Amino acid sequence: MNKPYQILIADDHQMFIDGIKLIFSNHPEYEIVAEALSGKDVLDRFKTNKIDIAILDVNMPKPNGFETCKIIKKQYPDCKIMILTMYAEGQFLNEFIDSGASAYVLKNAGKAELLRALESIVNGQVYIGKQLKLIADVPEKDGFSKSFSLTKRELEIIALLAKEKTSAEIAEILFISTYTVNTHRKNILNKLDVKNTAGLIKYASESGIV
C-alpha cells in the first residue's frame, strides 16, 4: 500500500473535527496528522508536519480560512486544500477560486461526497460541492439586476426557481428558512411586475437572466 495522504483538519469547533476524524478511521489511505482551531494554529502545524491535504473551515479565528489558504498555497504550493463550510454564498465561491483551494464542500454534505472531493483533488482536479454547483453559475447580469433593484440573493433564487427547485429545496441549498425564500419570491414578483413563478421564469428567460 502507498503511504497514506497526510491530512490536517482545521475548524473552530473541536466536536466537528472529532466527527471528521471518525470518517477517516475506516480509510487507511488518509491519515490525520494535525488538528487546528484557528488560522494561526494551522500555520504553526505546517512548521512541524508534512501535510498533503488541509481541510479548512472558512469561519476560523484570524486568519480566516481563505486567508490561511492563500498563505499555505504561497508557502507550500504542493499542498491540496479543501474548504469545508456552511456558507453557500456566491461570493465565497469567488474567494474560493482566488484563494487557490482545490475543493469547496458544504458541511451538510455526506461522507460519500467528502471522500469524492478528496479523491478528486488528489488526482489534480477541482471539486465544487453538488449543492454549490446549483448557484455557481448564477449570472451577475448587472444591467438587469440594477434596472429592477434585484439583490444577489434574489438572482440566486431566480436561478434556482428556473431549475424547478421548490421553496423548501432552495431554503436548504442557501441555508435560509422557507419563510425567507417565500418572502424573496414575493419581492421578486413585485419588482418584475409578474403574477406568478411561471411568469417570473418566462420574463427572466426572455430577459436573458436565466
At 170-195, the pLDDT tens digits run 888 887 888 889 988 988 888 777 88
pLDDT on residue 68: 93
Q: Is the model's pTM score more than 0.75?
A: no
The CATH number of domain 138-206 is 1.10.10.10? yes
pLDDT on residue 52: 97
pLDDT on residue 36: 96
Pair 163, 149: CB distance under 8 Å: no
pLDDT tens-digit readout, 32-43: 999 999 999 999
Task: Mark the ranges of the chain whose per-residue pLDDT is less than 50.
Answer: 138-143
pLDDT on residue 160: 86
pLDDT on residue 141: 47
Q: Which grid coordinates belong to 120?
A: 478528486
**In 10 A of CB 152, how many CB atoms?**
13
The residues spanned by each domain of the chain are 5-134, 138-206
**In 10 A of CB 130, how many CB atoms?**
13
Pair 51, 34: CB distance under 8 Å: yes
Burial zone of 39 (CB within 10 Å; 0-12 exposed, 13-18 middle, 19+ buried): buried
Q: Which CATH class is domain 5-134?
A: alpha beta
